[in-house]
Structure 1
Amino acid sequence: MLLMLSEKGKYASATENRRFVWSEIIWPLILELNDVVFTLKQFQDRRDKICQQHNLSINVPSRGLASLQQKGIILKEGTIYSIHYKLIPYMRLRARCDYATAIREVRLK
């Protein structure tokens, strides 16, 4: 999955960034911590590791994190980030929760 230099429009690129950040950084971090919250430092450490593995600029995941916040999947309170409460059962079951599942769960009323 290559990001950044894409021939896609800006909305498709933003979605691609969100998908990447969710599947490669945030969800594995949540499962690793076995907690619904994480700090910016924990995110940055994982981001740096993933960016190095994929030879990416850190700007891509940073935009993805902000975009996930705008979508309501990630919530920020002070310096602590958390996942939306409807995603907690997936974490407890250690289930696979891809971006499509996350966005669908958050949007369900």
Structure 2
Amino acid sequence: MSEKGKYASATENRRWVWSEIIWPLILQINDVAFTLKQFQEKREKVCIEKNISINIPSRGLVSLMQKGIIRKEGKLYSIHYRLIPYMRLKADCNYATAIHEVRLK
């Protein structure tokens, strides 16, 4: 990752965290919101399975919040309201779809 620019790495982190941790977690718990503990448990499990450093996905969550895909309300993190129909349908919602839905006005 060191050969990529800062922005390319941030985008890669966001994509990875969304597709490998957050969206599978949302489908698993079947809820629009999750706790930091739920995120951390899922992150740890995925990082062990994929044999990657836990530091990479920790930056991804904050980055997703900055993009508006994830919102923090008190102690809960929730997905953007426009992504709820995907969750209800148990549909695949990749990062490109998520960012597109969030940016639609």
Using structure 2 for the length normalisation, give the TM-score. Answer: 0.97
Residue 31 in 1 paired to residue 27 in 2? Answer: yes
- Give the one of 44, 68, 74 matched to 2:70: 74
- The offset of 1:25, in angstroms, is 0.2
- Deviation, 1:6, is 3.7
Q: Which amino acid aligns with 1:14?
A: A
> What percent of counterpart residues are identical?
77
Instruction: List structure 1 segments (4+ residues) > 2 angstroms apart after TM superposition.
Output: none
**2:41: which partner in 1?**
45
Q: Which residue of 2 aligns with 1:101?
A: 97
| Letter paired with 1:69 | M
Q: What is the number of equivalent residue pairs in this alignment?
A: 105
* Alignment root-mean-square deviation, CA: 0.7
